[in-house]
Amino acid sequence: MSKIWIDGKLVDSSEAKVSVFDHGLLYGDGCFEGIRIYNDRIFKLRSHVKRMFESAAAIRLQPGYSIEEIEHAIRETVKINERQNGYIRLVFTRGIGTLGLNPFLCPTATVFIIVEKIKLYTDEMYEEGMSIIVAQRPRIPTQCLDPKVKSLNYMNNILGKIEAIDAGVLEALMLNIEGKVAECTGDNIFIIKDGIIATPPVESGILHGITRRFVIDDVAPTLGYTVEERDIELEEVMAADEVFLTGTAAEVIGVSHIGDTAIGCSKVGPITHAFVEEFRNRVAQDAPED
């Protein structure tokens, strides 16, 4: 049985409980991070925890712990669960309060850490590419909910995911309300055309993906590429030579089809393959924890 760190204690997973009066449950009032473990190293731990605290500050949630204390708790939870490779879910909720919306009637935040294994997609998808669709539902405008906040309220993403599942695939590309490409329900998107790589800017209404940033700043330069961050039209995605997605859980994965449209030769292209291999090599050998 796995151990969960919750509010300063490590308990059996069967004993890890959150109150029905917690505003994280009642209203999606909180934030979270997903973090990977590779060969006993916690990939981009400091970057993830800093982003978590930035999300908390943006919604005026006080977790009651410092960055260093949370990092220590994560390492402690990974160690007791004996996970050399796996996935960490860090969650801050507003805590127990009233049935009203007022977040300041929740005196103490709930904090918990889960360490488990995860596998979103099959090995065949990584080799041959995955099919996705374009969601009909747009991303929530930045003016309504800043995507820099990795909120527990993921309903916009979930409804996009339902569209994908109804279409028989596992991911959907979402546009912003201006009709520009934003991101997928759980992953950032990159396109390649004539050897030039581009990805939507954070201003388009996307999460500041940490794997996305690692691909832009570390993987691409190692392979001799630069990545343009710019507005992207849907037509550019459909006409791309290659498309790939990035995310903590997904890592780097190529796209073979978007709806009925084949991308490139309808399989993972050579540049995407190079990015997948370079990413895997980097995290397997010495995953950076900063």
Domain boundary among 116, 131, 158: 116
Asked whether 185 and 169 are in contact (CB, 8 A), the reply is no
Q: How many domains does the chain have?
A: 2
Query: What is the value of pTM for the model shown?
Result: 0.96
130 and 237 in a common domain: yes
- Say how far residue 142 (Cα) sits from the centre of its chain: 17
Instruction: For residue 235, give the nearest of 255, 263, 208, 215 by alpha carbon.
Output: 263
Q: Is residue 243 part of a domain?
A: yes
- Do residues 232 and 179 lie in contact, with contact meaning Cβ atoms separated by under 8 Å? no
Task: Please tell me which residue in 3, 44, 119, 150 is annotated as part of the active site.
Answer: 150
Domain final position from 116, 132, 158: 116
Sign of CA dihedral 156, 160, 163, 168: negative
CATH number for 17: 3.30.470.10
Does 146 lie in the same domain as 104?
Answer: no
213-267 pLDDT tens trace: 999 999 999 999 999 999 999 999 999 999 999 999 999 999 999 999 999 999 9
Radius of gyration of the chain (CA): 19
Please tell me whether residues 164 and 77 are part of one structural domain.
no
Q: Is 150 known to be catalytic?
A: yes
Identify the domain containing residue 157 by its residue range: 123-285
Task: List pLDDT tens digits, range 143-186.
Answer: 999 988 999 999 999 999 999 999 999 999 999 999 999 999 99
